[in-house]
Structure 1
Amino acid sequence: MNLDSLPIVAIATAPGRGGIGVVRISGKNLGNVAAEICALVPGKTLQPRHATYTRFVDADGSTIDQGLALYFKAPHSYTGEDVLELQGHGGPVVMQLLLARCLQAGSNIDLRLAQPGEFTQRAFLNDKLDLAQAEAVADLIDASTEAAARSASQSLSGVFSGIIRTLVEQVTNLRMLVEATLDFPEEEIDFLEKSDARGKLAVIRDTLQKVFRQSAQGALLRDGLNIVLAGQPNVGKSSLLNALAGADIAIVTPIAGTTRDKVTETIQIEGIPLNIIDTAGIRDVAEAIDEVERIGIERTWTAVAQADVIIHLLDACRGPTLADENIVARFPANIPVMRVWNKIDLSGHKPAIDRLVDATHIYLSATNQLGMELLREELLRLAGWQQTGESLYLARERHLVALAAAQTHLQLAAEHAALSDHALDLFAEELRLAQEQLSSITGAFTPDDLLGVIFSRFCIGK
């Protein structure tokens, strides 16, 4: 990602039509050197943090639009630089005209189009946000559930970063004590006993374990689960999708092979987004009606391989068949499987759940909504979701990796501290490595190439 300091501009609102559209400009000393930018709002003196109603004019003086101009003087802005926002009507043509005019007016100061996430990247580089807060901006925009939005807002406000910084400080202080002891071995003081190093380390590890648990729960709010419905034709996969979604998403008929391709619907259970993927019925390719069904079956197996959880639908009326067992044999060994026996309204079974050695078995009727709560509860259990009442942080995979690595280093530090000869040099080194892992979450030890990956996933204008 480009890391130059040239002024940048972009449309900051989502593509499409809307009542309001915003073009945002950010750069150093905009108010001092960009007289041409000010020509966009003729006859107006923009006061910092005051909205000014004005015309936005083209190079020939004709009006492009009318709206509000807001000027934020550095460092009191989102990016930490001078920022000018032009708020007009949200038509795509109007926004493009205004953007083109900004680029034309700012050509002498090398004003250029912003890259995805570049405004937020500058906020990070100018110490307006740390890296975890910057990522929370994108998570808040992308949140698909109310719970995810609230957790992202918590992270954006700095709660998650504050806890991480506290952990880093505690690890750093303990490391300083250890290294001071290494520098003065002649004191012959039993450092581990007199400074209660083991106790301090135990408190840090307990806190880190709690943060990891809360972060892992928060990651579920952000990413959700991909759940694939698989089974023979006409066992009720589409009916189950409709029952979970609460709407007629997929076509349901008594004719086998109705579903020819993947049908995906995102639902919420306890605020957790679940991507339910209905697939073509699985049978021997030689039995497929036509080429379309054969391709659908191949795509089913592709979806199965990428699933977080597989729901294997079976017909409770006819019981397990050889074809069902052949399907089970092809399921990946590392993906949890739930065996759901559908159509209990016809088979005479009662709604039930049995956790057996091979898999969890659930008996339900998708058509009559019998046993559906058992399925929802089991999906949450497989996801690892627990209603703890604790605040959750909308963590990303890299956060969880760093937290897990820090836990490993602190575990090794505890093992060195437990040795009879007190291997303090190894103890200190593991503390240093844990400190670096934790600091990487907020961006203190983050390489530029990782920054490029993180911010390139933002939307343009943010």
Structure 2
Amino acid sequence: MKRRSDTIAAIATAPGASALGVVRISGPHAARIAGQLAGPLPKAREAALRIFRDTAGEALDQGLVLYFPGPASFTGEDVVELQGHGNPVVLGAILKATLDAGARPARPGEFTQRAFLNGKLDLLQAESLADLVASGSERAARSALAALRGGFSRELDAITAGLRAVRAEVEATIDFADEDLDAADAATLAARIAALRIDIARLLRGARHGARLNEGADAAIVGRPNVGKSTLLNALARDEKAIVSDEPGTTRDVLSIDLAVHGVPLRLHDTAGIREAGGAIEREGVVRAQRAAAAAELILHVVDSATAHEVLTDLMPPGAASPTVIRVHNKIDLDRAAPAVLRTTTGIEVRLSAATGEGLDLLREVIVEAIGLSAASDSPYLARTRHVAALETADAALAAATHAEIPRCPELVAERLRLAQQALEEMTGRLTTEDLLDDIFSRFCLGK
């Protein structure tokens, strides 16, 4: 890929005050610009203590300088890191000095984009780097790291290589049309296509799990007043996020929190108790509760002994969709009942006490299962929706390349193989558009 001619700089550490802060510079003039601020650079990959000065010679900070000459650097270009104190004012002054010396401000994700363009990593790895930074759980972080280290790409490359070989053989029959493809050769090619579909199906299962682990789900807690909805939210969050009171109608608005359930990101919405009575403010809370429930992928329908006869449709507005529902029978401590998971023809019910914590682990397991994962399931690579869509496209194209068509219509088979290969290569960025790259990298944080 063509190298960029300009040099970029950005603060690479998170906003806010901290013990350390890093200004990263990358490009053909990185060494010269850093030299203006910090004096002679140290040997490659050796840290040196320096005073950082602006272009007028005024001292800004004292810290470490590290020099990574290209192409053996993250971006594939000359990279210098100025590691100082994590005061936003100080870091801003150091960054301004790099700009005054000839750098330009980096766009979000531009360092990683340059690494991709210079062949230091593929698009799957670049996306996994952003996902690792944004991971909301240890489980998601491990899966993102596995993809960053190239595991996902290697499996995909092996499938693509096999697909490319089959496509070459099919296209050879077109180039030498005077030589008919016999039934045995056609059967062999069909078997190889079938084997590729098996490999894609395996990778697709993992990608679906990885995408769900990456993107999580929306869940709404709904029920009548005083069944323990806010207590349940606090128990799942392991914190006092919502006000709990015996007075009906305490919750007036939707309270949303982000948490991880067995490593799976979940955005949980606590809603107002749904009832006919109440003033204008409470009625608006009920409307918002129903709206949140209608938009959720998963509903935790909370009941107690007094409302155990209730069904969810009693609480939902007419015409609402039918999401996945877990019925939560709360307050078993008052009934002196045991925690349990009941699976019936009408759905799943978890019996628990949000106040004492009995049965909460059962609910967590059922939530993850309802999302499409399990506490013990392994998602080897963190994935995105676009990866799932690309694998589905490739599988559909191979499914269309049937055994019967190979000897009869090799041109059509070759085209379907080409479409499958294109879908897979778009995942790694070997075949992609500038618009797609801009969209992906624009979502990265600044300085990455």
What's the TM-score once normalised by structure 2's chain length? Answer: 0.92
Whole-angstrom distance in 2 between the partners of 1:153 and 1:325: 43
CA deviation profile, 1:246-299 (whole Å, cap 9, x unmatched): 333222111111112222333333322222221112223xx33343x3333233
1:370 alignment counterpart: 358
1:89 alignment counterpart: 85
The 3-state SS of whatever aligns with 1:86 is strand
Whole-angstrom distance in 2 between the partners of 1:171 and 1:12: 40
Whole-angstrom distance in 2 between the partners of 1:14 and 1:190: 63
* Aligned ranges 1:423-438 → 2 under 5 Å: 423-438=409-424
* Aligned ranges 1:152-163 → 2 under 5 Å: 152-163=144-155
Whole-angstrom distance in 2 between the partners of 1:329 and 1:419: 51
CA deviation profile, 1:407-441 (whole Å, cap 9, x unmatched): 1111112xx22459643222221111111111111
What's the TM-score once normalised by structure 1's chain length? Answer: 0.90
CA deviation profile, 1:164-191 (whole Å, cap 9, x unmatched): 1111111111111111112223222316
* Residues 186 and 406 in structure 2, CA contact (< 8 A), matched pair in contact too: no
Which letter maps to 1:372?
L
CA deviation profile, 1:375-422 (whole Å, cap 9, x unmatched): 222212211114676561100111111111111111112xx2245964
2:308 aligned with 1:319, yes or no? yes
CA deviation profile, 1:38-82 (whole Å, cap 9, x unmatched): 22123x244322222111112332211111111221211111111
2:342 aligned with 1:354, yes or no? yes
How far does residue 121 in structure 1 lie from its aligned partner after superposition? 0.7
2:107 alignment counterpart: 115
Whole-angstrom distance in 2 between the partners of 1:350 and 1:61: 73
Q: Unaligned 5+ residue runs, structure 2?
A: none
Q: Is the deviation greater in 380-389 or in 19-28?
A: 380-389
* Residues 174 and 411 in structure 2, CA contact (< 8 A), matched pair in contact too: yes
Q: Is the deviation greater in 345-354 or in 357-366?
A: 345-354
CA deviation profile, 1:300-341 (whole Å, cap 9, x unmatched): 23322331211111232343248x543146473342122222
Q: Residues 302 and 333 (structure 1 numbering): CA distance in 2 closer, same or farther, change over 3 Å?
A: closer
2:70 alignment counterpart: 74
Q: Unaligned 5+ residue runs, structure 1?
A: none
* Residues 192 and 417 in structure 1, CA contact (< 8 A), matched pair in contact too: no
The 3-state SS of whatever aligns with 1:276 is strand
* Residues 417 and 427 in structure 1, CA contact (< 8 A), matched pair in contact too: no
1:17 alignment counterpart: 17
| Number of residue pairs matched by the alignment | 446
* Residues 221 and 299 in structure 2, CA contact (< 8 A), matched pair in contact too: yes
Q: Residues 193 and 37 (structure 1 numbering): CA distance in 2 closer, same or farther, change over 3 Å?
A: closer
2:49 alignment partner, one of 46, 53, 61 = 53
Give the RMSD, CA atoms, in angstroms: 2.3
* Residues 268 and 274 in structure 1, CA contact (< 8 A), matched pair in contact too: yes
1:142 alignment partner, one of 115, 134, 138 = 134
* Residues 191 and 197 in structure 1, CA contact (< 8 A), matched pair in contact too: no
Whole-angstrom distance in 2 between the partners of 1:39 and 1:245: 50
The 3-state SS of whatever aligns with 1:277 is strand
Which letter maps to 2:190?
R
Which letter maps to 2:220?
V
2:7 alignment counterpart: 7
Q: Is the deviation greater in 195-204 or in 221-230?
A: 195-204
1:454 alignment counterpart: 440
Which letter maps to 1:83?
V
Q: Residues 191 and 180 (structure 1 numbering): CA distance in 2 closer, same or farther, change over 3 Å?
A: farther
How far does residue 240 in structure 1 lie from its aligned partner after superposition? 1.2
Which letter maps to 2:432?
T
The 3-state SS of whatever aligns with 1:398 is helix
2:224 aligned with 1:227, yes or no? no
How far does residue 14 in structure 1 lie from its aligned partner after superposition? 0.6
* Residues 417 and 423 in structure 1, CA contact (< 8 A), matched pair in contact too: no
Whole-angstrom distance in 2 between the partners of 1:91 and 1:319: 56
Q: Residues 23 and 191 (structure 1 numbering): CA distance in 2 closer, same or farther, change over 3 Å?
A: farther
1:332 alignment counterpart: 320
Whole-angstrom distance in 2 between the partners of 1:181 and 1:388: 48
Whole-angstrom distance in 2 between the partners of 1:385 and 1:95: 43
